[in-house]
């Protein structure tokens, strides 16, 4: 068993003793999904535990190797004398344990990047500068070179909205998806959403110049009454209502309700008046959750009409909104 101990100086100011956060981040980076206490923290003074106590805890729990990292910027007396002396005492007390002592943070080119970020943050960013910087960071951290050019704005905005790079691999596009969505926007078609949160998140000023509007029927009184009478979800009844009475819909954005997505697929494949139009409508189906969410998206991925989905449990309002807004921005 191997343990890592981060050791910081410690401060009389209690809220400054926060390298536990660094310890958790390091643990998640090195051992994702691990529930063991592999990475520990300690302090030289003013805070607990101190390094000898952290070493003893590791030894008591069966550690065979202990890596000690001085969370210091430079090699001062603490790094070159005090901590090595504690380690020498620990080696004498626990001869069966291998001890590894690393260099401090020291001079490293990546620290320069941190300083640059701190300088920029102190100067403040305008809203567009924040977005541009965010896209720059995600582009540097994720290899998106394999993403087709027409899909790239969508993938980037979804990652930007969720801070989740997994979408790079799980987003699925019908071959005609992006073209259909852009055509719908530029032709003044409307966008139908499953819930009000998705409607709220779509940037209306990007849509309005084309003449379209965003529709959500889930809170309509007749939809609520029908749901109570039939036991169906309001989301699926709202889809039925919209698709039976309004054929100016060009994009359907579903971020929360799997039942809404299943109902759309059913309608597209069973009602002739919609079946004839389905090749002109983009279905963005990314409901989130554990019940029917993945199943509904898997079914969508098998359809022959234009769609964008993601094959995982993840999704939700931020994902659906990001996809639509990426299309709106591209259309503009």
Cα(8)–Cα(11) distance, rounded to whole angstroms? Answer: 9
- Provide the b/e sequence for 310-328 (b: ≥16 CB within 10 Å): bebebbbbbbbbbbbbbbb
3-state secondary structure of 108: coil
Cα(281)–Cα(194) distance, rounded to whole angstroms? Answer: 15
CA angle, 132 then 136 then 142, to 5°: 140
Q: Helix 258-270 and helix 293-300: axis angle, to 10°?
A: 30
108 catalytic, yes or no?
no
Which residues, 6+ apart, have CB-to-CB distance to 124 below 8 Å? none
Which residues, 6+ apart, have CB-to-CB distance to 102 below 8 Å? 67, 68, 69, 70
3-state secondary structure of 65: strand
Catalytic residue (one of 69, 78, 81, 160):
160
Residue 296 tokens read as 């509904």
* Residue 278 phi, psi dihedral angles, 5° rounding: -65, -25
What is the four-CA torsion angle of 157, 163, 166, 169, rounded to 10 degrees?
10
User: Do the beta carbons of residue 310 and residue 298 sit within 8 Å?
Assistant: no
End-to-end CA distance of the chain: 57
Would you name the residues annotated as active-site residues? 160
């Amino acid at each position: 068993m191997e343990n890592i101990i981060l050791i910081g100086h410690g401060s009389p100011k209690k809220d400054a003793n926060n390298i536990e956060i660094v310890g958790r981040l390091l643990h998640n980076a090195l051992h994702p999904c691990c529930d063991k206490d592999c990475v520990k923290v300690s302090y030289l003074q003013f805070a607990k535990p101190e390094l000898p106590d952290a070493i003893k805890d590791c030894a008591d729990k069966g550690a065979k190797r202990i890596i000690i990292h001085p969370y210091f910027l430079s090699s001062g007396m603490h790094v070159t004398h005090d901590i090595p002396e504690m380690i020498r005492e620990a080696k004498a007390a626990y001869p069966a344990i291998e001890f590894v002592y690393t260099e401090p943070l020291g001079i490293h080119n990546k620290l320069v990047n941190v300083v640059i970020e701190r300088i920029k943050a102190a100067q403040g960013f305008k809203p567009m500068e924040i977005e541009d910087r965010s896209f720059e960071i995600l582009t540097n951290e994720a290899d998106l070179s394999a993403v087709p050019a027409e899909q790239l704005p969508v993938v980037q905005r979804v990652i930007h909205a969720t801070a989740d790079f997994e979408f790079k691999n799980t987003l699925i596009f019908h071959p005609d998806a992006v073209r259909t969505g852009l055509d719908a926007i530029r032709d003044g078609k409307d966008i139908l959403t499953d819930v009000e949160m998705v409607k709220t998140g779509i940037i209306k000023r990007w849509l309005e110049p084309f003449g379209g509007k965003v529709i959500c029927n889930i809170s309509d009184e007749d939809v609520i009454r029908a749901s109570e009478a039939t036991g169906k979800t309001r989301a699926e009844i709202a889809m039925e209502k919209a698709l039976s009475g309004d054929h100016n819909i060009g994009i359907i954005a579903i971020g929360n309700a799997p039942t809404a997505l299943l109902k759309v697929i059913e309608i597209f494949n069973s009602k002739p008046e919609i079946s004839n139009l389905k090749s002109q409508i983009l279905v963005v189906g990314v409901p989130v959750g554990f019940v029917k969410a993945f199943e509904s998206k898997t079914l969508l991925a098998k359809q022959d009409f234009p769609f964008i989905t993601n094959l995982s449990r993840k999704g939700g309002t931020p994902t659906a909104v990001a996809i639509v807004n990426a299309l709106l921005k591209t259309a503009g």
